[in-house]
Each structure stands twice: as structure tokens, then as C-alpha cells.
Amino acid sequence: MSRCGAELAVDRVCKRFGGLKVFDEVSFTIAPGEVLGVIGPNGAGKTTLINVICGKLTPTSGRILLGGRNVTGAPFHALSRAGLVRSFQQTNTFGGASVGENISRAIRFSGGRRASSDGISHMIEKFELASRLDERSDKLPYGLQKMLGLILTYATRPKVLLLDEPAAGLERRERTRIDDFVRHAQRELGCSVLIVEHDMDLIRRLCPSVLVLDAGRVLASGPPAEVLSRKDVLDAYVGAIDEEAA
């Protein structure tokens, strides 16, 4: 596996829980500013893969490299401060704090690496949060809580963003906000993005390359048009996922 110029490299990573093998020999790279989609049926190991990459879980074997540095086994908080930042399927804000305080806390966490105030202000306006800065974050509508959670990741000025089903629970009309967020993060921060998602339309729009996980192994990888037309991929799950995301 070539790692030249990779911002994130996952090298033959395996994860087992006792005798249960969640995934095995998974390898891929993400170049600076690149967006990679990771797709697969429920139980394929996608969220566990994110948890291993971000340091919430330790891989059973294999290596994870961030900017060419081996960070395998580093804890979640250390990787977050190093610029490897993840979102969560559900909303992930400081529920008892106001929207403005949430953003201030994320900026303080960045430790001097913070994104420009202009970039953060742009997203606050874009995602209709400017008039809600004094509201408690847990009182926001679900879709706005999701977008605030993404703004918090942006405020830490990540080098690599791991987005775990960012469109989950959003109405179809709200899902283009994910496009706006990812493109803004690419443009303003130059960060690499890994997206785990069931919404195939979103994957096709945002991801020049996708990786398919099935039963813990890489089933296919390449451009979405090519991968999503393969019979083995279609047979595995794509039809069911399109119905779920509708």
C-alpha cells in the first residue's frame, strides 16, 4: 500500500472482540483534502473502524498513520488534539450549554489550532444558528443539533474528519447541508474527510472514491459509479440501503 503524501493511512488493520472478528486486513489511504466514502450493510464494521481509527478502540493488529506518523493505539483525546476528529451518528453537543458556549468550548479545545472566526461565522449563518446563539443546544431541532455538532468539529481545525452517518435522522431537504459543510471544510481547512453513510446520493455527490466493507473485509473500492454498478456490491446491499435512505 502506497502511503506517499497520505494524510491518513490505515494499514492491514484488524479488530477482534474475543473470538469475534469485526473486520480483517483493512487498508486504505486518504490524501490531503480528499473525501473517501465508506459504505456497507449493517454489521459490516464501519462504525467500529471509525472507533479504531480515532483511538476509542485499540486495533488487534495493523497500523494507523496520521501525516506519516504512527499513531496506532494513541488515545482518543490525544488524536483529537493532533487533528484527527470524529463526529457521531447522534447529536453530540454540550446539551446544557448555549450554542455560543458550545462553539467557545470547541475553540478552546483546539489548543491554538482553531479555525478562522470567519469560517465559523459563515457556517453559523449558513446553518441558521446565528439567531440561536443564546439557546441551549439540547433545545434545538434535531437537524440543527446535528449541524452544530459538525461546526464543533470544524472549530477544532481538524486535519482529518471522520463523519459517522452525518445524514442520519435528517430530512431529505436538510441533507444538502452536509455537502455544504464538507466542501467548506475542504476549501477552508484543506482537511481530509472519511464519510460513513447509508445515503447513496450523498456518497455519489461528495466522494470521488468509495470503499465497500462487507462481513469485515474490503469488498470493493474505486469511483462510486464503478463500484456501485458491480453485481457483487449490488447483491450485497445497495438496493436495501437506497430504500432505507429514501
Q: Is the dihedral of CA 86, 30, 180, 100 positive or negative?
A: positive
Assign 3-state DSSP to the chain and report helix, strand, coil percentages, each to 5: 40, 25, 35
Helices (H), 117-223: 117-126, 142-155, 176-189, 200-206
Ordered by start, the domain boundaries in the chain are 8-91+152-245
pLDDT at 110: 67
Is residue 99 within 8 Å of 149, Cβ to Cβ? no
Burial grade of 4 (CB within 10 A; 0-12, 13-18, 19 or more): exposed
3-state secondary structure of 162: strand
C-beta of residue 209 within 8 angstroms of C-beta of residue 37 = yes
Given this model, what pLDDT does residue 10 score? 97
Mean pLDDT computed over 77-87? 92
Sheet containing 69-70: which strands, arranged edge to edge?
Answer: 20-30, 8-17, 61-66, 69-70
Residue 111: band (very low, low, confident or very high) from pLDDT cuts 50, 70, 90: low
What is each CA distance from 129 to 110, 126, 148, 150, 166, in whole angstroms?
21, 8, 8, 12, 18
Is 8-91+152-245 a domain of CATH 3.40.720.10?
Answer: no
162 burial (CB, 10 Å; 0-12 / 13-18 / 19+) is: buried
Range from 93-97, 215-219, 222-226 carrying the lowest mean pLDDT: 93-97
- Tell me if 246 sits within 8 A of 225, measured CB to CB: no
pTM above 0.85, yes or no: yes
